[in-house]
Structure 1
Amino acid sequence: MATGSRRGANLALPEGPALGHNSAMPTIDPVLVKPFLGPLSGRFDVDSLEECDSTSSELSRRADRGAPSGTVVVADRQSAGRGRRGRNWLSSPEGSLTFSLLWRFSGPATRLTGLSLAVGVAVAQALEELGAAHVRLKWPNDVLLERAEGFAKLAGILVELSSDRRGTQAVIGIGLNLLAPAGDLLMPAAGLADDLPSLPDRHRLLAGLLGALADVLDRFDAGGFAAVQSEWQRRHAWQGRPVTILQDEAVECEGICLGVDSDGALLVETAVCIKRILSGDVSLRVR
Structure 2
Amino acid sequence: MDKTQEQYNQLLSLLADGRFHSGEALGQRLGCSRASLWKLIRRLRDEGLPVEAVSGRGYRLTVAVEPLRESPIRAHLESFCDEWSLRVLDRVDSTNRLLLNEAGTLCHPAVVLAERQLAGRGRWGRRWEMSFGGGVALSLMWPFHRQGAQLAGLSLAVGVTLAESLEKIGVRGLGLKWPNDLVTVDGKLAGILVELIAQAAGAAKAVVGVGLNVRLSEQARAKIEQPVVDLQQLVGDTALQRNTIAALMIDAIANACREFEAGGFSAFRERWNRLDVLNGQPVSLRLPTEIQEGIARGVDDNGAFLLEGEDGKHSYFTGETELKVRR
Task: Identify the TM-score tier after normalising by the shorter chain.
Answer: 0.7 to 0.9
- Aligned with 1:245: secondary structure? strand
Partner of 1:84: 123
User: Could you tell me whether the CA contact under 8 Å between 2:281 and 2:295 is conserved in 1?
Assistant: yes
Secondary structure in structure 2 of the residue aligned to 1:154: strand
Structure 2 contact 78–251 (Cα < 8 Å) conserved: no
Give 1:93's aligned amino acid. Answer: F
TM normalised by structure 1 equals 0.85
After superposing the two structures, state which structure 1 stretch, 43-52 or 234-243, moved more.
43-52
Of residues 257, 263, 266, the one that matches 1:226 is 266
Q: Say if 2:282 is the partner of 1:247.
A: no
1:119-268 matches, cutoff 5 A: 119-147=158-186, 152-166=187-201, 167-180=203-216, 181-198=220-237, 199-248=239-288, 250-251=290-291, 253-268=292-307
Q: What is the CA distance between 1:25 and its match in structure 2?
A: 2.2
1:125/1:245 Cα in 2 relative to 1: closer, same or farther (>3 Å)?
same
Q: 2:85 aligns with which of 41, 45, 49?
A: 45
Q: Using the alignment, how far apart are the partners of 1:144 and 1:208 within structure 2?
A: 18
Partner of 1:283: 320
Runs of 4+ in structure 1 over 4 Å off? none
Q: Which has the larger radius of gyration?
A: 2
1:2-36 residue CA offsets vs partner (Å, 9 max, x unmatched): x98xxxxxxxxxxxxxxxxx743222111111221
Q: Deviations over 1:185-229 (max 9, x none)?
A: 332111121111224211111111112222221111111000111
State the alpha-carbon separation in 2 of the partners of residues 83 and 68 from structure 1.
26
Counterpart-to-counterpart distance in 2, 1:51 and 1:286 = 35
Cα shift at 1:100: 0.4
* Aligned mates of 1:212, 1:250 — CA distance in 2: 34
Instruction: Quote the sequence identity (%).
Output: 34
SS of corresponding position for 1:42: coil
Q: Report the Cα offset of residue 121 of structure 1.
A: 1.1
Indicate which of 143, 150, 156 corresponds to 1:104: 143
Structure 2 stretches lacking a partner, 5+ long: 7-61
- Note the aligned Cα RMSD (angstroms): 2.0
Amino acid at match of 2:278: W
Written as runs of structure 1 = structure 2, the 5 A alignment for 1:21-100 is 23-38=63-78, 40-42=80-82, 44-64=84-104, 66-100=105-139
Cα distance in 2, alignment partners of residues 58 and 40 from structure 1 = 20
- What do the CA deviations read for 1:76-122 (whole angstroms, capped 9, x no partner)? 01111111101011112221110100001013101111111111112
2:311 matched to 1:272?
yes
User: 1:80 is paired with a residue of what secondary structure?
Assistant: strand
Question: Given that residues 114 and 265 in structure 1 are in contact (C-alpha distance below 8 angstroms), is that contact kept between their aligned partners in structure 2?
Answer: yes
Query: C-alpha displacement at 1:275, in angstroms?
Result: 1.5
Give the length in aligned residue pairs. Answer: 261
Higher relative contact order (CA 8 A, sep 6+): 1
In the alignment, the residues of structure 2 paired with residue 78 and residue 201 of structure 1 have an alpha-carbon distance, to the nearest angstrom, of: 20
284 and 176 in structure 1: CA distance in 2 versus 1, 3 angstrom threshold: same
Contact 1:103 1:171 in 2 (8 A): yes
Whole-Å separation in 1 of the counterparts to 2:266 and 2:115: 35
The match for 1:7 is: none
1:142/1:38 Cα in 2 relative to 1: closer, same or farther (>3 Å)? Answer: closer
Contact 2:232–2:240 (Cα < 8 Å) also in 1: no
Q: 1:223 to 1:38 in 2, by over 3 A?
A: closer
